[in-house]
Structure 1
């Protein structure tokens, strides 16, 4: 066997466990438990009728899930997103998603007063803005409405696929 062939086969075998890497089902279960809370926070931050497209219209919760569940995403941040939503649910006794807009604003302002809450809300804001302004190939920024709302356009060259699969 030639050295080159050996290196190619060795590399392929070394990467083989990652080729079929999937999201840990434990993570999926944890995410499902907090998904509605995160979506409600995103929709409160980016409501319908504002200058920017709404979080709901842009399907930002799906983008957030796909982003943080990707195998290359930082596991500590993934955990932080889940735990922060769980903390908000705990603080509001599981009722946050049923609150009026005024009550949601009040609850989020109170959560923001804590260092943990402030950082969590900042992370959710960042992920939501990434969804609204990302290339539509990633499943958000539908019909490029995020770009259009700020009279901008995406960078070139544009991606052809969602994510590099490992």
Structure 2
């Protein structure tokens, strides 16, 4: 048998588990899962004139934190990363091109098509919630830089604010 030694078994399972769950895993040999997720979030965020810039809210870092944190359920993490795979599959179906290589308009049409599926609607809802959390979250988590989301909404944070990240 191929997996006849414990060492071989551990090597194989460690490699395959790592390849499946890490957000930096290559997806369709073009981009990482996190690249696809971050671009999808950027496309969902849009260009609201008065809103803080997408770079300032740092949603990518927040999503990376969510995907690696021990308090976030594995089912939730899997749904997020599966969504990136499904989005890539939809881009391939529509344009025969990876999502990250599409034009802005093509990515918008891919998201619109994705939203027609029950899983797609739920996944887009989850991505939007993570964007909102990044806009409204405390800057101690590396998001909402310079409190730009709070300033945009004229929000005054409650006191006391956290002294260290809880996630």
Superposition TM-score tier, normalisation by shorter sequence = 0.7 to 0.9
**In structure 2, do the counterparts of structure 1 residues 157 and 79 end up closer, same or farther at CA, with 3 Å as the change threshold?**
same
Instruction: For 2:158 and 2:67, locate their aligned partners in 1 and report how far apart those are by CA, in whole Å.
Output: 22
> Which of structure 1's runs of 4+ aligned residues deviate more than 6 A?
none
> What corresponds to 1:46 in structure 2?
45
RMSD of aligned Cα (Å): 2.0
Pick from 127, 132, 136: which aligns with 1:129?
132
Q: CA deviation at 1:49?
A: 5.4
| Distance of 1:90 and 1:124 partners within structure 2 | 18
**Which has the larger Rg?**
1
Give 1:58 deviation, angstroms.
1.9
Map 1:61-100 onto structure 2 (within 5 A). Answer: 61-93=60-92, 95-100=98-103
| Residues in 2 aligned to 1:36 and 1:84: alpha-carbon distance in whole angstroms | 13
CA deviations 1:67-118 (Å, max 9, x no partner) are 2321111221111000011110122125211222221111101000000011
Q: Cα distance, 1:146 vs. partner?
A: 0.4
Return 5+ residue gaps in structure 2 as ranges: 1-16, 25-31
Kindly provide the CA deviation profile for residues 109-160 of structure 1, in whole angstroms up to 9, marking residues without a partner as x: 1000000011001101101110111000000000000011111122221111
- Identify the residue that residue 55 of structure 1 maps to in structure 2: 54
TM-score (norm 1): 0.76
Q: Which of 155, 158, 164 is the matching residue for 1:155? A: 158
> How far did residue 29 of structure 1 move?
5.7
Maintained 8 Å contact 2:21/2:78: no
Quote how far apart the aligned CAs of 1:56 are. 2.8
Q: In the alignment, is the contact (CA less than 8 A) between 1:46 and 1:53 conserved in 2?
A: no
